[in-house]
Amino acid sequence: MIKDSSKVPTYDTLGVIERVNRFSKRSIKNSSKIAGLKLALSMIDLTTLEGNDTKGKVEQLCYKAMHPHDALQGLPTVAAICVYPSMVSIAKNALQGSKINVASVATAFPSGQSDLKIKLADTKFAVDQGADEIDMVISRGKFLSGDYQYVYDEIIAVKEACGKAHLKVILETGELETLDNVRKASEIAIQAGADFIKTSTGKIQPAATLPVTYVMLDTIKDHYIKTGKMIGMKPAGGISNSKTAFQYLIMLNEVLGEKWMNSKYFRFGASSLANDILMQLVKFETGFYQSANYFSKD
């Protein structure tokens, strides 16, 4: 737990923006581009988090996860399906026989404004339904009022309720506003036992941004130097095309490097990214951009 918040490293926003702009200027071509596209596809947490999600919708999404685009040979599947707790068992059934994980949001997602008991029950329900990964939200209100201890204890409790399921901790950086807050929240989450830290719920704007993700990666890096323990990273929301995804991958490559360049340690929380990646891959195969209608919208 953060004993002295003045000891937490600070960030200069303009400096961070300048740095991430450099990542956006890398030019990725040819075979390195194909490798990057496939890697990005394999890192996707294909997501549907809507009030109107149904069995049918989730089953269709699961089929898409297993068969991103059968016309192309040698494609990886996505890493996971991300749904609400009530959809976990449906997804679990639909994904049987595949290696795709089921991730469930929990802890009064997306606001987190509920009692800890209810949050734990929410988590346990999702785990009992078969969730392999839990995406929890932190209590931003408590965090912003300076009650770091509460936030820390809550994550520890949820982590325990997760059992064997992996825990991703959503900071909802759009509500934390400053990069220094993002750093603090990242440290709290990591020290409380998060397996992954995640930017956003996708319900608040801005969702994932390059500067915020940079600060989180930097926190992961410092933690690794100090303890040797690797923490995963998941930017979520707003990453809808491969160009943007590449900026994140380049940043990952140049900040954390090869050990993190896989779906075990990096995920994209996205819904429409997959089709854009597929379109790019087909372009490499055929030399043409096909109409978006050639790619299934599930």
Residue 5 sits in the site that holds another protein (CB under 8 A): no
Per-residue binding string, another protein, 256-285, x by CB under 8 A, is xxxx-x------------------------
Are the beta carbons of 237 and 269 closer than 8 angstroms? yes
Residue 14 sits in the site that holds another protein (CB under 8 A): yes
Residue 146 sits in the site that holds another protein (CB under 8 A): no
Size of interface with another protein, in residues (CB under 8 A): 35
Residue 30 sits in the site that holds another protein (CB under 8 A): yes
Q: Tell me, yes or no, if 234 is annotated catalytic.
A: yes
Which of 35, 292 has the CB closer to another protein?
35
Are the beta carbons of 216 and 176 closer than 8 angstroms? no
Q: Tell me, yes or no, if 135 is annotated catalytic.
A: yes
Rg (CA), the chain: 19
CB of 200: closest distance to another protein in angstroms? 22
User: For 35, how many CA atoms within 13 A lie in the half-sphere containing its CB?
Assistant: 10
CB of 9: closest distance to another protein in angstroms? 6
List, in sequence order, every residue forming a beta bridge with 269; answer none if it has no partner.
Answer: 45, 236
Q: Tell me, yes or no, if 4 is annotated catalytic.
A: no
Closest CA to 234 of 58, 90, 45, 3: 45
Q: Among 21-29, 189-197, 266-274, 288-296, which window interacts with another protein (CB under 8 A)? A: 21-29
CB of 162: closest distance to another protein in angstroms? 28
Closest CA to 71 of 289, 278, 284: 278
Which of 37, 207 has the CB closer to another protein?
37
Q: What is the DSSP letter of 271?
A: S
Q: Among 42-50, 71-79, 184-192, 253-261, which window interacts with another protein (CB under 8 A)? A: 253-261
63 phi and psi, to 5 degrees?
-60, -45
> In angstroms, rounded to a whole number, what is the distance separating the alpha carbons of residues 114 and 107?
8
Of 200-219, which residues contact another protein (CB under 8 A)?
Answer: 218
Residue selected from 1, 5, 10, 146 as contacting another protein according to rule CB under 8 A: 10
> In angstroms, rounded to a whole number, what is the distance separating the alpha carbons of residues 238 and 175?
16
**What is the helix (H) or strand (E) element at residue 187, kind and residue range?**
helix 179-191
Are the beta carbons of 231 and 7 closer than 8 angstroms? no
By the criterion CB under 8 A, which residues form the site for another protein? 9-12, 14-16, 18-19, 25-33, 35-36, 39, 218, 221, 224-225, 249-250, 253-259, 261
